[in-house]
Amino acid sequence: MAKTARGDRQKTKRLLPGKLFWLAIAATSCMVFALLHILFGSVSADALTATTGVDKSVELTTSIANVSPMDFDVPTSFQAKTIKDAPVPAGEKVIALTFDDGPWPETTEKVLAALKKENVKATFYMIGQPLKSFPELGKKVLADGHVIANHTLHHWYKQMSPLVAQREIEDTQQIIRDILKVETAYFRPPGGLLTNGLVAYAQKKGQSVNMWSVDSNDSHPKRPSPEAMLKTILAQATPGGIVLMHDGGGNHDNTAKAVPQIIIKLREQGYKFVTVPELLEISSANAEKVAKAAVLGVGS
């Protein structure tokens, strides 16, 4: 009996290393696959079972990029920051035109036509509600190469709970995602109000909060004339500036009429037009250069 038991134990000992080896291989494979699945979702399965001869690591990265792209990303140094303009290097005379409260029937298309004629790209802070009502106009803005940004769902000025603020921004993100198939990390609070809960949420999410340094005053109830708008903008324009205008939220015919002259006159002064993400790229590249120069003692 004792001999049999010892014999069984010995047999078990002989078998164990082999069995354990395969069990360990199986368990490890399962864990690795499960981990990849958690990290990359079902994409990993496709990528991992792709035909041989393909560099799977490259394919995996590409697949991930296709799943969740951040089309309008924010440079690291500007994430979760509120800006009204951005410092740019001397000689880099750039300025960003921005349009709020659209998309809007008639005005948006007129603004788009003027921008296209002058070959200028701008940044559009869209409200979720009109984008839902006029999806084709929103698509036209994107198709023309402009930047899409978030301007909340209802354009409320009131104080908001964290939950309401979250819904105002996230519901708009979802409408932008559904209709335009893009992700944006650019946000402008309605009325430029900084303390009603919206900016706190946008910053928590690492978004870039964009105020303005040049106010065209085009949302004034007594709509200023295109000439008056042009005068106001020329008086306030600076390199690295952000110009506030409106293509939605009422009749903004005067804005659409003013756009060509605004572009022509600013160009005469040497300005180049950039989108807000481009402005931040230029500014952050310059900041890195300045920081590096400071570390190296260059210029001191």
Positions marked active-site: 100, 246
| CB-nearer residue toward Zn ion: 101 or 168 | 101
| CB-nearer residue toward Zn ion: 98 or 232 | 98
Pick the stretch among 58-66, 93-101, 176-184, 255-263 that binds Zn ion (CB under 5 A).
93-101
Pick the stretch among 76-84, 95-103, 222-230, 292-300 that binds Zn ion (CB under 5 A).
95-103
| Near Zn ion in 21-40, by CB under 5 A | none
Any idea which residue has 């106009």 for tokens? 137
Least CB distance from residue 189 to Zn ion, whole Å?
8
Three-state secondary structure of the chain: CHHHHHHHHHHHHHHHHHHHHHHHHHHHHHHHHHHHHHHHCCHHHHHHCCCCCCCHHHHHHHHHHHHCCCCECCCHHHCCCEECECCCCCCCCEEEEEEECCCCCCHHHHHHHHHHHCCCCCEEEECHHHHHHCHHHHHHHHHCCCEEEECCCCCCCCCCCHHHHHHHHHHHHHHHHHHHCCCECEECCHHHCCCCCHHHHHHHCCCEEECCCEECCCCCCCCCCHHHHHHHHHHHCCCCEEEEEECCCCCCHHHHHHHHHHHHHHHHCCCEEECHHHHHHHHHHHHHHHHHHHHHCCCC
| CB-nearer residue toward Zn ion: 134 or 271 | 134
Pick the stretch among 48-56, 92-100, 274-282, 290-298 that binds Zn ion (CB under 5 A).
92-100
Q: Does 190 bind Zn ion (CB under 5 A)?
A: yes
Least CB distance from residue 60 to Zn ion, whole Å?
41
Which of 100, 168, 218, 247 forms a contact with Zn ion (CB under 5 A)?
Answer: 100
Q: Does 218 bind Zn ion (CB under 5 A)?
A: no
Name the burial class of residue 282, with classes exposed (0-12), middle (13-18) and buried (19+) by CB atoms within 10 angstroms of its CB: buried
| CB-nearer residue toward Zn ion: 94 or 276 | 276
Q: Does 85 bind Zn ion (CB under 5 A)?
A: no
Least CB distance from residue 161 to Zn ion, whole Å?
21
Residue closest to Zn ion when measured from CB atoms: 100
Q: Does 101 bind Zn ion (CB under 5 A)?
A: yes
Least CB distance from residue 249 to Zn ion, whole Å?
6
Pick the stretch among 6-14, 43-51, 100-108, 262-270 that binds Zn ion (CB under 5 A).
100-108
| Interface contacts to Zn ion, rule CB under 5 A | 100-101, 190
